[in-house]
Structure 1
């Protein structure tokens, strides 16, 4: 399982651990990933995702998973999130056509 956020694509970064004596050794900065189940109102189902705590905060701020994906630009989304965004757009278009 990769250490990558399913929504934003945030992944592991690398850098140096610098000691008091200024010795530098390589280290990894891991994203704060949480396994969550988010409800999609448009798709009428729940979706299990492994997302960063920062992305979860953004989803809550924007008003849920559907609103987050609609407002987000395609280039800042991970591949799985892009697929969800397409499904939501398709369901919205069908709902508008039926009404």
Structure 2
């Protein structure tokens, strides 16, 4: 599956959206992350369990500092978890590390 990031404006706030497509570009799933603030996606990475890691940023209010945002979206489109980091920057790269347990 492929994926793309976009941002929708709703009531003067941006929602981060992730659209999953099949190889032909047909939409399979659409996930929206909305914490009531401005959320932006900058990078996504498929992970070994079929889900996606998504990096970006969030700004709670016009007066607040930007925070880095990291999401984990399950294969079925559920948001498994999200984390905010007080770096005043956006996440621009994600790497995957595979651990071999038992060796």
TM range (shorter): under 0.3
Q: Which has the higher contact order (CA 8 A, sep 6+)?
A: 1
Q: Give 1 or 2: higher strand fraction.
A: 2
